[in-house]
Chain A
Amino acid sequence: MSARGRSRRGALAIGFRVGTYLALLLVLGPALWIVVGVIARAVPHWQWDVLWHTTKGSSGGLEGALLGTLILMVGVLIIAGSIGVLAGIHLAELARPRRSGKPGGGIMRMAADVLSGFPSIVLGYVGYVALVVGLHWGYSLLPALLILSIMVVPYIAKATETAIRQVPTAYREGAEALGMSTGYGLRKVVLKTALPGIVTGLLIALAIACGETAPLLYTAGWSGGNWTGSFIGGHQFSYLTYPVYVFYNTPNPSAHALAYDAALLLLVIVLLLLVSSRIIVARTQRHAESR
């Protein structure tokens, strides 16, 4: 090989190496910039008062919104969590495999895949047309919960299915050899082993749910106040993403401050959820026999 050819190869290799690190920097830089940028604009005027007062117009606090987002998360955990986990169990364990040997539930899996990539505003629109207007529920908690649940069920089902599939077959055979019925063995052996993976999936689904805006705008509306305790009937509902979306371009400085406060709270919630999911994964990997 000629010297020129060799130097060209060397230059390409160096360029490639530099390029990969540059790419990493181009991803991590903005990620850090967003987090630091929001903190830097929210912390200087941060007052703990924000947490104890409800929103009035475009000023006041974020008590209603924060509680609303937490209520939405609990609701999604109950509705989407139970449906998603059951669906995941079915897909992984109980669905009859097809003759070709592929896992069963083909069309259900496809539906879940399509739903997980569905534009969230289209789901919000359907919630508005069918539930808020069609069923006369009005802007209230239940339509928002249902639409959010439709959005995140596919993630929970997928995470559950993956976690259950990673349980070694020997565990199931052991359970059967001990005379456990399929259901009992499922609960006591398979689900117990797969629990960390399932919980991780739930936490990620909650992170998605708490950061959504588009599906909520036309299903939950916005009141600024605390939850009235009713699920339907036009009792509008508050959630943290609304002040961010609406208050950022108002001239009022207190509204601006609220937008950044809400963004900060959202970041804290998402960070807590993702970090705890990471901790769960790390702990189970440490305790697992393999790896």
Chain B
Amino acid sequence: MTVVGGTAGVPPAVPPTSRSNTADPPPPGGPLRRILRRSETGAWRWGGRIAVLLPFAALVFVIAVLAVKAAPAIRVNGWHFLTGSEFDAGSGYGGTTTTDGVAHPIGAAYAIWPLIAGTLQSSAIALIVAVPISLGCAFALTERLPRWISRPLGFAVELLAGIPSVVIGLWGILTFGPILARDVYPIIGNNMPDVPVLSYFRDPVGQGDGLLTAGLVLALMIIPIISSTTADLFRQVPRLPKEGGEALGMTDWEVANRITLPWVRSGIIGASVLGLGRALGETIAIAMISGSIFQVAPNIYSPMSTIAATIVSKLDGAQTDGTGFAVATFAEMGLLLAVISILVNLGARGIVARTSRLGGPVGRGA
């Protein structure tokens, strides 16, 4: 490919004389106004250049801070950090010791496999529940209901995305969880057969704070993201193939399954992964609902915790570690979470961008 002349987008330089000839009559205002007006283009250009650099600079800054802070913890905790199960700040009075040149309280040991497992499990539950519901919801809103009713309903879904996660957490822990634990979980828990996979769903069902409740609430929080993205995709499917299918006598389900869904399949995968990214990083609601127990959940109703929820609920206590090792370990946890979420997000954006051009801001809430 060859580029002819100047770069596209930049107008060719016009000699000032020709401009003053065409600008007839001259713009209103005195000479000062005219100078200001001419420099306005430059102001927009430079303001935009600086502003667009800032998110990039912020991202670099955030990752650099995490990496620098986490470095000593990574050296001491090693790979065991990812696979083991220990969360011991060490004795506050037992003095400090030094490993690999890093000071930390005697007995301090961190290994967060239960948190990683909890993060993955709760997000997996959220995704399994949210994807079919989001697809059904998007179908109902775009293909089925008339416009006058689908618009207010669509706004209601949008509103769900806007509800602060702390309010959803409050509802989840004081209303939703207890009702599930009293009326729904026992029915499942008592009747599940004791065979390998299903035994994970057996009693005891607990108080309503735990893995399943957390996963369901997460599902509720990511449904608006997945369904609004999917609805946008459905609207982009051309009408002719769908009408053709109907003319051939296909039922609703066959049109959806054979024409609409294949048309936007990778977009749906991208939207789901985007929702997954949100679920992995959700903090406050999970901190309230998960039960905050450092363990790999023995059954699906058990209390557990996630990386993000542990950072928010335990960072307060970590500040008491005089050597700063606990805070460094939290940086390692944050870095791990950040890396996971960056990979997931970039993967999702890649998939979505390859298949469609999406308009609105998609991601966290609203």
Contacts and interface: CB of A to CB of B under 8 A. Distances in A.
A84 B23 CA distance: 33
A286 interface: no
A76 B199 CA distance: 49
Contacts of B164: 210-213, 241, 244, 266-267, 270
B277 A117 contact: yes
A214 interface: yes
B170 A38 contact: yes
Interface stretch (B51-59, B84-92, B106-114, B296-304): B51-59
Contacts of A21: 136, 140, 144
Contacts of A259: 170
Interface residues of B, number: 110
Nearest to B164: A211
Contact of A13 (B1, B174, B252): B252
B295 to A, nearest CB: 20
Interface string B331-366: 100100110011011100100000000011101111
Contact of B366 (A17, A208, A213, A248): A208
A106 B249 CA distance: 46
Interface in B19-64: 19, 22-23, 27, 37-45, 47-56, 58-59, 61-62
A249 B174 CA distance: 9
Interface stretch (B75-83, B95-103, B152-160, B186-194): B152-160
A3 interface: no
A261 B137 CA distance: 32
Contact of A90 (B51, B65, B159): B51
Contacts of A90: 45, 47-49, 51-52
A218 B134 CA distance: 34
B22 A274 contact: no
Contacts of A110: 346, 349
B284 A184 contact: no
Interface stretch (B3-11, B200-208, B235-243): B3-11
A270 B162 CA distance: 7
Contacts of A274: 155, 158-159, 162, 366
A24 B40 contact: no
A111 interface: yes
B331 A266 contact: no
Chain B, interface SS category: helix
Contacts of B43: 183
Given A27-B223, A97-B8, A187-B40, A162 B360 contact: yes
B256 A16 contact: yes
Interface stretch (A49-57, A58-66, A125-133, A226-234): A125-133
B48 to A, nearest CB: 3
B283 to A, nearest CB: 4
A108 B52 contact: yes
Contacts of A23: 132-137, 139-140
Nearest to B252: A13
B166 interface: yes
B169 A15 contact: no
A139 B166 CA distance: 21
B144 A244 contact: no
A110 B287 CA distance: 29
A217 B312 contact: yes
Contacts of A128: 315
B51 A126 contact: no
Contacts of A183: 37, 39-45
A43 to B, nearest CB: 15
A87 B52 contact: yes
A27 B327 CA distance: 39
B278 interface: yes
A151 B361 CA distance: 13
B41 to A, nearest CB: 3
24 contacts: A16-B251, A17-B252, A23-B133, A24-B136, A37-B171, A38-B170, A90-B47, A90-B48, A94-B44, A108-B53, A113-B349, A120-B281, A122-B311, A123-B62, A129-B327, A150-B55, A155-B366, A162-B360, A211-B166, A214-B284, A241-B284, A245-B169, A249-B173, A260-B170
Given A110-B349, A119-B281, A124-B312, 16 more contacts: A13-B253, A21-B136, A23-B133, A24-B153, A86-B52, A117-B344, A122-B62, A125-B315, A159-B361, A162-B361, A183-B37, A183-B40, A211-B365, A213-B283, A248-B170, A266-B167
